[in-house]
A and B are shown apart, each in its own frame.
Chain A
């Protein structure tokens, strides 16, 4: 059961301003996967327009 800042544990004297107070640890693996796809798409699309620029000849 994730803790929340309003939990009783906090009121029981755990000092509030520490790194551990009310912090939930969650590793966003799905986010990393989605963003990997995003970055791949970004690089591919950006590069293809850059290539079009280069292929149209210098001024």
Chain B
């Protein structure tokens, strides 16, 4: 088809003498554009491949028909690996995340493995760089270090039916002392009063 189109153009005379006639200022603009694009792209490449601000990649495949019944997502939850390292297996289903709550000590580094047993979902932890698609058949892996105390909702951001707007969980990051108190099964970590006693326990 394209040959037929081009044949019909025929020969333009004095072909070799034709230039584009680009205005010199427009030529400068084109160079500036390229410089800007190269600069920006270099910055994000360095940030991505050398400074740890990396996108998720291809992790593993699973069978969505059995993933909620057998394997690590059959018992979703957080595992404390020690030394501030954590691992979470999160299952997304209409319309909830399991677990719905994750509590971590400040400074925790966590690897989150998430998949779906039904539809596509998304997961984004507010105020962090955790932002990932959750696709049945695929494992999404994302890692993050929670450097600040606070509450960080994780929200489903991909339409998954009528309950989509209610699909969320919360990461609660507490001080190490409070976390230790919780881990020991002792009292409310939220009240101020426990800080002292928890610190004493930690020293002991």
Q: Do chains A and B touch in the complex (CB under 8 A)?
A: yes
For the complex, give the distance between the alpha carbons of A19 and B147 in Å: 64
Report B-chain residues with C-beta under 8 Å of the C-beta of A28: 23, 25-26
User: Does A57 belong to the interface (CB within 8 Å)?
Assistant: yes
Interface range on chain B: under 10, 10 to 19, 20 to 34, or 35 or more? 20 to 34
Question: Which residues of the partner chain B approach A58 to less than 8 Å between Cβ atoms?
Answer: 51-53, 129, 145
Q: A17–B143 Cα gap in the complex (Å)?
A: 63
How far apart sit A53 and B51, CA to CA, in the bound complex (Å)?
Answer: 12
Shortest Cβ distance from A58 into chain B, in angstroms?
Answer: 3
Cα A58 to Cα B128 in complex, Å, equals 9
Q: Which residues of B contact A43 (CB under 8 A)?
A: 36
Which residue of chain B lies nearest to A50 when distances are taken between CB atoms in the complex? B43
Docked-complex contact A59 and B143, CB < 8 angstroms: yes
Chain A interface size band reads 20 to 34
Contact with B along A30-51 (1 / 0, CB 8 A): 0110010001001100100010
Whether B25 and A57, one on each chain, are in contact in the complex, defined by CB atoms closer than 8 angstroms, is no
**Contact of B71 with A by CB under 8 A:** no
**Is A39 a contact of B43 with CB atoms below 8 Å?**
no
Cα separation A33 to B5 with both chains bound (whole Å): 41
User: In whole angstroms, what is the CA distance A35 to B142 when docked?
Assistant: 40
B21 contacts A19, CB within 8 Å? Answer: yes
Instruction: Report chain B residues within 8 Å CB of A53.
Output: 47, 53, 129
**Any chain A CB within 8 A of the CB of B96?**
no
Contact in complex: A19, B144 (CB < 8 Å):
no
CA distance A59 to B109 in the complex (A): 9
**A17→B17 contact, CB < 8 A:** yes
In the bound complex, what is the Cα–Cα distance between A23 and B36 (angstroms)? Answer: 31
Complex: A17 Cα to B13 Cα, angstroms: 9
At the interface, yes or no: B18 with Cβ under 8 Å from chain A? yes
Most B CB contacts (10 A, CB to CB) among A42, A43, A59 go to A59
- Minimum C-beta distance from B78 to chain A (A): 17
Q: How far, in angstroms, from A43 to B36 measured CA to CA in the complex? A: 9
Additional 12 contacts, C-beta under 8 A, given A58-B51, A59-B53? A17-B13, A17-B17, A19-B21, A27-B25, A32-B25, A50-B44, A53-B129, A56-B127, A57-B128, A58-B145, A59-B52, A59-B130
Query: Which residues does A use to contact B, with CB under 8 Å?
Result: 17-19, 23, 27-28, 31-32, 35, 39, 42-43, 46, 50, 53-54, 56-59
Binding site for A on B (CB under 8 A): 13-14, 17-19, 21, 23, 25-26, 29, 32, 36, 40, 43-44, 47, 51-54, 127-130, 142-145, 147
